[in-house]
Amino acid sequence: MKTGKISVKAENMLPIIKKWLYSDKDIFLREAVSNASDAIFKFERLVVFGEAQKAENEKMHIDVSVNKEKGTLKISDTGIGMTEDEVVKYIAQVAFSGAVDFIEKYKDIADKNNIIGHFGLGFYSVFMVSDYVELDTLSYKKDAKPVKWICDGGSDYQIGEGERTERGTTLTLHISKDSEEFLDTARIREILRKYCSFISYEITLTDECQEKKEDEKPEIINNISPLWLKNPKDCTDDEYKKFYKDVFHDYMDPLFWIHLNVDYPFQLKGIIYFPRLRENLDLMEMGQIKLYYNQVFVADNIKEILPEFLVVLKGVIDCPDIPINVSRSFLQNDGSVAKISNLISKKVSDKLHSIFKENREEYQKYWDDINLLIKFGCIKDSKFFDRMKDTILFKTTDGKYLTLSEYLEGQKDKDKKTVYYTDNKAQQSVNIDMFKRNGIEVVEFRGPIDQRFAQELEMREEGLKFSSVVSELPDDLVSGKAANEDDVKVLSEIFRKALGKDKLEVKAEYFKNENTPAILTLSEQSKRFADMVRLYGQDFAYKPDDEYVITLNPDHPLIKKVMDMRFDESKKECMNMLCQQIYDIALMSHRDFSKEEKEKFIERNYKLLEMI
């Protein structure tokens, strides 16, 4: 053995790097295994070019073995190997000078995640967990001799004759005291599964201290041909579902998925899944995109990779064009990540379009699950809105799913461009019935997002209006016959007095085929304002009680009764109670009663019943 010295300026980089990267030490294994995988890849290329020979049936593999007694962790490959010159050059000089550059440039950066690997710092990371490292390697080159290189991470090393008899490299890490966790097979398995589940060459894991049973096959860690690399045409639904469940540990099937296979403007392969969502999303269900670089796991916490509104998606993306060997903060600001995000958004809308066109029924089945996401996306991203607007569905109270144009097309008054909605089916049932009996479809709003989305549509579609069933009585509901003006005046006075609301607006309309005496309406604008105030928990700040308009149906027996009773002084109390009751019943379509209101209502009800 002879000794050598690395000609670098920084003498003490190891302690700095060790301390610096303390939080994600386990990345050293990813680096070592991906170097092994790179070395095999290089060898296979040479074989393809006829520059190296491979024995028939020779299988490329990477073996990781743990020996707790000896305190070693070995990573061995059947790759290209290195000659002595190459070890000196690539390991001792390139890898080390990378470490020096790293220290100089990055010492002030706070974000440590994933920074390793930068400047070829990959190899050097093994020193984070090792007292010293032995590298034993045999190059593919003819007449090459095995080389051994030993180093403790400082600038001195020893180099001499190695022991390997077959082409490839064995890296033996003599694990340091403070890194003993890496002598635990279970821990190593966990790290390998995280980073190396889909690496292209078979990885086995062996515990050297465990006695091997006869015929026992070594444990294989990875799946060398992950589904995303297969041609979408050759993948079955079951394969997609199984892959999803395996990778994301979800017991439920995904709703549907998108298999990405892009060559331009950058290379990207992957599968994006729409998971089944529950009504009330919680953080546990947030999606996750696992990013790979040539099948090596890089990260799954880069939220910029997805448009914000698609956070619930889960998937894998393999992108060899993305600069992985840099810090997370760098990646977040990198243009390629934004490009991926745009690409996913585009692919999602393409996919939805094609399901919509080719299988409307299927699309409708998904709609309840995905509508929230889509609407949110439309609000957040106008490009997405433009792409999706014709496939947005409105669910009617009868359970039909209609696009906006289908809805408007089905209305008698097409030019009005008004969509009638209910945001509380139970409460507003009287009004809904009235609309439906007159042939007007009512769509259901199921939460604040629908309100918000409607506003968005109103802004974008000239003349379009959303109106609640408690906001407006469309012409179709009334006969068009004008009520007698004097009668309206009289009724107005009676109701105002009876209710103690001298500013109440009273109207009269002959309802078409209705047995409802009165309907209370609140202008759409006031209703939205009240809803918003309620949403922010500020009900006390605004109550629209004085803004309701009551529309009476003069044909209704109860209204006729009120008109008759006004001449009889003895019926006055009864008449007032009747008016109050009619008002209150109409009010039920708008809101719940307070405790006092409810007590009054019930008491009055009994009194009226007594009068029968």
Q: State the residues that interact with ligand ADP by CB under 6 A.
A: 31, 35-36, 38-39, 77, 79-80, 82, 90-91, 94-95, 120, 122-123, 169
Whole-number Å distance between alpha carbons of 75 and 205: 10
Member of 26, 35, 182, 587 binding Mg ion (CB under 5 A): 35
Task: Output the smallest distance, CB 208 to ligand ADP, in A.
Answer: 20
Least spacing, CB of residue 296 vs ligand ADP, in Å: 11
User: Least distance (Å) from ligand ADP to the CB of residue 134?
Assistant: 13
Which stretches within 500-556 are classed as H helix?
A: 524-535
The answer to whether 34 is a known ligand-binding residue is no
Q: Which residues contact 298 (CB under 8 A, 6 or more apart)?
A: 114, 291, 292, 322, 324
For residue 181, say whether it is annotated as part of any ligand binding site: no
Partner interacting with residue 79 (select from Mg ion, ligand ADP, none; CB below 5-8 Å by kind): ligand ADP
In the bound state with ligand ADP, the residue whose beta carbon lies nearer, of 298 and 469, is 298
The SS3 assignment for 195 reads helix
Give the CA radius of gyration of the chain.
37
Query: Minimum CB separation from ligand ADP for residue 62, in Å?
Result: 9
The verdict on 37 binding Mg ion (CB under 5 A) reads no
Work out how close the CB of 85 gets to ligand ADP at its nearest, in angstroms, rounded to a whole number: 12
Query: Which of 35, 295 has the CB closer to Mg ion?
Result: 35
Question: Under rule CB under 5 A, how many of the chain's residues touch Mg ion?
Answer: 2
169 labelled binding-site residue: yes
Looking at the Cβ atoms of 35 and 114, the one nearer to Mg ion is 35
Closest Cα partner for 457 from 552, 388, 549? 388
Nearest to 33 by CA among 247, 331, 328, 294: 294
516 is in an annotated binding site: no
SS (H, E, C) 382-407: HHHHHHHHHHCEEEECCCCEEEHHHH
Residue nearest to ligand ADP (CB): 122
Q: Which does 551 bind (CB under 5 to 8 A by kind): ligand ADP, Mg ion, none?
A: none
565 is in an annotated binding site: no
Q: Residue 549's closest CA among 525, 530, 518, 521?
A: 521
CB of 125 to Mg ion, least distance (A): 9
Tokens of 37: 């995988």
Amino acid code (one letter) for 356: F
433 is in an annotated binding site: no
82 binds, among ligand ADP, Mg ion, none (CB under 5 to 8 A by kind): ligand ADP
Q: Are 195 and 187 in contact (CB under 8 A)?
A: no
Q: Please indicate if the annotation marks 399 as binding a ligand.
A: no
- Choose the contact partner of 247 out of Mg ion, ligand ADP, none; CB within 5 to 8 A by kind: none
Separation of CA 189 from chain center: 28
Which residues inside 106-145 make contact with Mg ion, applying CB under 5 A?
A: 122
CA gap 474, 463 in Å, rounded: 16
Closest CB to ligand ADP among residues 36, 388: 36
Rounded CA gap, 219 and 205, in Å?
Answer: 5
Contacts 24+ apart (CB under 8 A), 244-250: 244/271, 244/273, 244/314, 247/290, 247/316, 248/273, 248/275, 248/288, 248/314, 250/275, 250/314
Q: What is the C-alpha separation between 76 and 78, in angstroms, rounded?
A: 7
Residue 151's binding partner, choosing from Mg ion, ligand ADP, none, with beta-carbon cut-off 5 to 8 A by kind?
Answer: none
79 contributes a contact to Mg ion by CB under 5 A? no
Binding site residue list for ATP? 31, 35, 77, 82, 97-98, 169, 328
**Where on the chain is the footprint of Mg ion (CB under 5 A)?**
35, 122
Binding site residue list? 31, 35, 77, 82, 97-98, 169, 328
